[in-house]
């Protein structure tokens, strides 16, 4: 632990380093003149950064990830391209003396090498330092564009959330965030004001800026996720139906209600097995979803769907999540593409009934599973991701008149929704 004296010394060193953080961006602006922007993602090791970067590499951009670390339980070091701790000069004792050396060199490298930063509300590398309040202005001075992609704990201010169930769920999973709400709000407001593009998706509580109305901009490499070829005909009476759930945020996902619903359905006589997928590497998750699970339940408290739900749909699994929350669904049904989503919506009150509907109806499971795969191909593939970000670059880098707000408006004939075949959630 760093004691108070050490913190004071580090603070002094950072502020003595301030001229460098101003001089270097000016030099960068004067000498770097790239027509096509280089892209940088990070520094929080959210797996989506890897997917986004790869999708833009396929599009023809030079795109890399720069992280402070990686989550060893679910990621591999190889998932990301660069790490802050690999930067520095001098003997090993100097590199390990303090992260200032690594931060200075990684910051210098990133501002000279890249032109558009994709960051969370905590910011880029200077977000780890006392200079975080200056970072937006330093990056602007360097001529760097910023796209802010909130991921959750960097954004949510619990007192501003409209859905009481979500407030409780977040307090169960992340109680400490409630104690630093003022800090989170400062970070959010800083980037709401200064980002070239601010993209909260369904995290719209407590802010007024929404540049693109979209339920989720998450993407995956669908070629890495095989689609089910055969679907089980088990209906809970003639054989076991296997239900998968990823309880990494139990309060937000409503895990205890899901377990209770499965137990009660078993008591009714249905043959079920609950597969709790926790702390697994991605290859293990793929195997379970493809070869064992018949249904995926993602979450029933927090609104919408996240990466786990997308992975389930990509595998061709019928997926349950909470997509009919009136606080948010009215927006994303009316102004985006949520009406096309084939997720079987459930909440803490009706999860048992919604599960039963899928368990006893293998034909419905297959129908929703196949449509889920098509939905992910349309809205969450690398192709969809590259289209989404490229439209933003056309506006903020090339200065083109792109109507980002209506990119996914269902009544806009030129929207992405209407360019490609519409998906009907269920056959009628």
Distance CA 324, CA 341 (A): 11
Mark out the alpha helices in 218-302 (DSSP H runs).
250-253, 255-267, 282-291
pLDDT at residue 98, rounded to an integer: 55
Q: State whether 170 and 229 are in the same domain.
A: no
Residues 266 and 147 in one domain: no
- Of all residues in the chain, the percent with pLDDT exceeding 90 is 77
285 and 194 inside one domain: no
Measured in degrees and rounded to the nearest 5, phi and psi for residue 424 equal -95, 120
Give the CATH number, domain containing residue 288. 3.40.50.2000
Query: Tell me, what's the pLDDT at 72?
Result: 66
pLDDT score for 1: 43
| Cα dihedral sign, 408-308-151-67 | negative
Q: In what order do the strands lie in the sheet with 116-119?
A: 82-83, 63-67, 39-41, 116-119, 145-148, 197-198
- Same structural domain for residues 178 and 31? yes
Contact 274, 259 (CB under 8 A): yes
Predicted local confidence at residue 92, as pLDDT: 54
**Residue 93 domain-assigned (yes or no):** yes
- Do 239 and 148 share a structural domain? no
Instruction: Output DSSP code: residue 143.
Output: T
- Residue 187 and residue 290 in one domain: no
Is 0.85 topped by the overall pTM? yes
Please indicate, yes or no, if residue 423 is contained in any of the structural domains. no
φ, ψ for residue 40, nearest 5 deg = -130, 140
Domain annotation covers residue 153: yes
386, part of any domain: no
132 and 67 in one domain?
A: yes
Please state, in angstroms and as integers, the Cα–Cα distance from residue 369 to each residue in 210, 255, 310, 333, following that order.
Answer: 31, 22, 11, 21
Residues 175, 294 within the same domain: no
Residue 9 included in any domain: no
Quick one: 246 and 374 in the same domain? yes
Total residue count of the chain as it appears in this document: 428
Can you tell me the distance from the alpha carbon of 348 to that of 351, in angstroms, rounded to the nearest whole number?
6
Owning domain of residue 298: 225-379
- 135 and 253 part of one domain: no
Verify that 278 and 335 share a domain, yes or no.
yes
Q: Is residue 212 part of a domain?
A: no
User: In this structure, are 351 and 237 located in the same domain?
Assistant: yes
Q: Decide if 6 is inside a domain.
A: no
- Give every residue of the chain whose pLDDT is below 50, as ranges: 1, 93-95, 428
Could you tell me whether strands 295-297 and 344-345 are parallel, antiparallel, or unpaired per DSSP bridges? Answer: unpaired
Domain count, the chain: 2
Does 294 map to a domain?
yes
Q: How far is it between the farthest Cα atoms of the chain?
A: 73
């Amino acid at each position: 632990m760093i004691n108070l004296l050490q913190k004071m010394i580090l603070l002094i060193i950072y502020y003595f380093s301030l001229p460098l953080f101003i001089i270097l961006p000016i030099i960068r602006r004067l000498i770097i003149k790239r027509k096509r922007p280089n892209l940088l993602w990070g520094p929080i090791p959210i797996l989506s950064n890897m997917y986004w970067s790869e999708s833009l590499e396929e599009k023809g951009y030079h795109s890399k990830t720069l992280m402070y670390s990686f989550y060893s339980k679910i990621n591999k070091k190889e998932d990301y391209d660069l790490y802050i701790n690999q930067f520095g000069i001098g003997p090993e004792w100097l590199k390990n003396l303090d992260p200032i050396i690594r931060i200075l060199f990684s910051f210098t490298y990133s501002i000279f090498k890249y032109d558009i930063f994709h960051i969370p509300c905590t910011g880029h590398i200077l977000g780890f330092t006392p200079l975080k309040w200056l970072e937006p202005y330093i990056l602007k001075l360097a001529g760097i564009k910023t796209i802010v992609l909130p991921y959750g704990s960097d954004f949510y201010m619990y007192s501003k959330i409209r859905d009481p169930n979500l407030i409780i769920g977040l307090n169960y999973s992340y109680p400490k965030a409630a104690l630093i709400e003022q800090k989170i709000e400062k970070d959010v407001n800083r980037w709401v004001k200064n980002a070239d593009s601010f993209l909260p998706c369904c995290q719209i509580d407590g802010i007024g800026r929404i540049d693109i109305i979209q339920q989720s901009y998450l993407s995956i490499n669908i070629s890495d996720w095989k689609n089910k070829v055969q679907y089980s005909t088990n209906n809970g009476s003639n054989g076991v139906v296997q239900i998968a759930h990823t309880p990494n945020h139990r309060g937000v996902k409503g895990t205890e209600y899901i377990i209770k619903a499965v137990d009660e359905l078993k008591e009714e006589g249905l043959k079920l097995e609950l597969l709790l997928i926790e702390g697994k590497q991605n290859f293990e998750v793929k195997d379970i979803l493809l070869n064992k699970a018949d249904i995926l339940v993602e979450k029933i408290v927090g609104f919408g769907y996240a990466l786990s739900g997308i992975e389930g749909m990509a595998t061709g699994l019928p997926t349950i999540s909470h997509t009919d929350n009136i606080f948010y669904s009215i927006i994303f049904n009316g102004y985006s593409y949520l009406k096309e989503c084939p997720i079987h919506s459930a909440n803490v009150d009706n999860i048992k009934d919604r599960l039963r509907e899928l368990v006893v109806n293998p034909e419905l499971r297959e129908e929703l599973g196949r449509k889920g795969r098509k939905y992910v191909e349309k809205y969450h593939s690398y192709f969809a991701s590259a289209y989404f970000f490229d439209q933003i670059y056309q506006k903020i880098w090339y200065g083109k008149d792109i109507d980002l707000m209506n990119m996914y408006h269902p009544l806009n004939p030129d929207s992405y929704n209407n360019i490609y075949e519409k998906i009907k959630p269920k056959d009628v």
